[in-house]
Amino acid sequence: MGDELEELYRTTYATVVRFLYRKVWDADRAHDLAQEVFIRAMAHRPEKPRAWIFAVAANLARDEARAAVRRKRHLTLLKEDPATMPSSPQAADELVEDDERRAKVDEALATLTQRDREVLLLWDAGLSYPEIAQQTGLAVGAVGTTLARARKRLIDAYDRSEQGHRAAHS
């Protein structure tokens, strides 16, 4: 097993999990998928492992999205399960806040086009412009433009939902 891959695993695993988490919104699932990616890398021994790993991670997340509807139904059922309820009211508040915050960011991300979202998340995962370009098929010069648009849209969408939220509460 290549030392190179092991090194990459050490340096990139957390990033891959973060990248996947923002696509699947489930920490355990993100870990599972990240490990799956590295296990596949061991079998494939890709030439450019870093780019390969993010490409496969993106694909896995996409496959995951197809099953999302099914899982959402499952999650709804889980929420009604008293066993999963938090132990204290304070913890419950935090959980709700976390959920709301996450939902808002998720919502804001959803307003982006798929390409904009992909580029933004790849950038946030720590990929360089050339790496993002290679993975998305964009020209390196277009990555900056895409990122500029994606950032603006994300913040706009988030602020809009914040305002809407405040308006609803006042």
Partner 1 sequence: MRHIPEDELHAYLDQALSRSQCVEIERHLARCTRCRVERDDIAALRDRTTALLARVGPPPIIPPAFDTLIARAAARQHRYWRRLRAGALAASVGAVLFMGWWMSDRLFRVETRMASAATPTTPRAPVASSAPVAAAPAPAAIRPASATRTPKPKPTPRQLVRASRPVGAEAPAAAGFALATETDPQTVSQGNTADGLAFAATPLELNDLVAQPVGDVPGLNGLWRTIVPDEETANRRGDIALVPGLPVIQMRVQPGTAGQDVTAVDQMLESGEVIRTISGPAARVGTLVDEEAATDSASTRLAVGSPDHMTVTFRQADRMVAVTGPSQALAFLLARVNLKNPKRRY
In the complex, least distance from residue 91 CB atom to partner 1, rounded to whole angstroms: 14
What is the rounded distance in angstroms from the CA atom of residue 44 to the CA atom of residue 31? 20
Tell the burial category of 7 from Cβ atoms under 10 Å away from its Cβ (0-12, 13-18, 19+).
Answer: exposed
Cβ distance to partner 1 smaller for residue 55 or 131: 131
Q: Are 51 and 157 in contact (CB under 8 A)?
A: no
CB closer to partner 1 out of 55 and 108: 108
Q: Quickly tell me which residue has 């959402």 as its tokens.
A: 72
The residue among 55 and 157 lying less far from partner 1, judged by its C-beta, is 157
Could you tell me the smallest distance in angstroms from the CB atom of residue 169 to partner 1?
20
Nearer to partner 1, 10 or 170 (CB): 10
Kindly list the distances between the CA atom of residue 38 and the CA atoms of 94, 152, 157, in Å, as whole numbers in the listed order. Answer: 33, 33, 34
The residues near 149 (Cβ < 8 Å, ≥ 6 apart) are 116
Under the rule (CB under 8 A), what is the footprint of partner 1? 1, 6, 9-10, 13-14, 17-18, 21-22, 27, 30-31, 35, 38-39, 42-44, 101-102, 105-106, 108, 120-121, 123-124, 128-129, 143-145, 147-148, 151-152, 154-155, 158
Minimal distance, residue 108 CB to partner 1, in Å? 8
Query: Residue 11, Cα to own-chain centre: how many angstroms?
Result: 18
